[in-house]
Amino acid sequence: MKTTRREFIRSSAMVGIGFLGLYKYAVADASVIPAEPGYGYGPLIPDRKRIFNLPKGFSYQIISKQGTPMSDGLLVPGKGDGMATFTGNNDRTILIRNHENIPNDLRNGPFGRRNELLFKVDKRKFYDYGSGRFPCIGGTTTLVYNHQTKKVEKEFLSLVGTIRNCAGGPTPWNSWITCEETLEKANGTLEKDHGYVFEVPATENGGLAEPIPIKAMGRFNHEAVAVDPKTGIVYLTEDDAEGLLYRFIPSMPGKLHQGGTLQALAYRDQRSLDTRNWEGISPYTLAVKKMSPVRWIDLDDIESPHNDLRHRGFVNGAARFARGEGMWHGNDEVYFACTNGGKKKAGQVFRYKPSPYEGTPRENETPGGIELFAEPNDKDILKYCDNLTIAPWGDVVLSEDDNHPFLVGITPAGGYYKLGENVGYESELAGAVFSPNGRTLFVNIQHAGLTLAIEGPWQSP
């Protein structure tokens, strides 16, 4: 007999109080969510501040808040999304954070509600200045976090002029690839086409990255990327209900601006496979934990002025995925989430194992393989998985895109557990990522404009 999450909640009620969508759960002095037997760190304990529930022995602090001044004199932007961490000097972590902002949403931008701080940035540092009327206010910020003092020592704008920077991924050469989840084109206000990826160096020194789009990686609803450190090959997800999974083979590893080849994944033995498992729509049901060999299809016209790259790829044999979102490389494999995949449209997680000859003609001898790693079809276990990362001990950690979201862990064997619960705000969680030393997990409560640093007895649970 299945026990649902609601049966574990002893006394809970949502009470809105009207500030940034803030809400509270009134919970008795028992645990909110028990752990699945044998997995995780135990039940989640109600937070006295009623913001974020964590297992016993864990704690969080708010290290960044929307609208507060940064080191460069600008304001912390809102809608923090995907993030990555890099090793800094003297026990510091460099944290690069995306901001999923659109041009006319000034309340979430770094320049104030009337763009009164816009003069602080040279317009030549913008990718798109919006004709001076609606400057594009997506982009990234960089934080320098001191693990000894547990404080942010520096915080600054590091990319500006883009739109809806949703997720991305770290590179082995210490940069962050940030992705635009949009297909806006130049018009009477926008000066340039959008839908590209950009590279931001991981630095403690401040300053804005050169806003140069990597056009060879295609123009589509980009979401996340993962870079294989052995080959320099970049894997990319597409946030679309009919999206593809892409692979970019650079002409020179580590030099993405020098071009390369963009391809789409296809199942070797099943042409144009619909992996979504949607009842009544997907003609084939994909089984969990069944590894299948793949092939990769070259793509042309990758600037896709008609927004048809995914359709042309599917017609040519590529597999279709339900809103590919978070992606991460770990232990010689790539995990990625499909937010609306599965029979209940509640989410899937896939695992890709590259060929030992990945990206070369010999990969046909020993092709890479892909499997549907997880599809619980139970929203009490997992719902609308978005950003993901790999924990130091090898588990997948997922951020849910829901008004009452959890951080959910999945072990390599497929066991689920709850790692954290947002009980303070009607907002998705985004960008969960561990510090390089494994001591701190950072995560955004997106619509509240908060970034948390979580510490505790991390180990293989």
Q: Label residue 459 exposed, middle or buried (CB < 10 Å: 0-12, 13-18, 19+).
A: exposed
DSSP label at residue 6: H
Assess contact for 440 and 145: CB atoms under 8 A. Answer: yes
Give the largest CA-CA distance in the chain.
62
* φ, ψ dihedrals at 346, nearest 5°: -105, 0
* φ, ψ dihedrals at 69, nearest 5°: -65, 145
- The whole model's pTM is what? 0.92
Per-residue pLDDT of the chain (461 residues; tens, 9 = 90+): 333 333 333 223 222 323 333 334 333 333 445 556 567 899 999 999 999 999 999 999 999 999 999 999 999 999 999 999 999 999 999 999 999 999 989 999 999 999 999 999 999 999 999 998 899 999 999 999 999 999 999 999 999 999 999 999 999 999 999 999 999 999 989 999 999 999 999 999 999 999 999 999 999 999 999 999 999 999 999 999 999 999 999 999 999 999 999 999 999 999 999 999 999 888 888 999 999 999 999 999 999 999 999 999 999 999 999 999 999 999 899 999 999 999 999 999 999 999 999 999 999 999 999 999 999 999 999 999 999 999 999 999 999 999 999 999 999 999 999 999 999 999 999 999 999 999 999 999 999 999 999 999 998 66
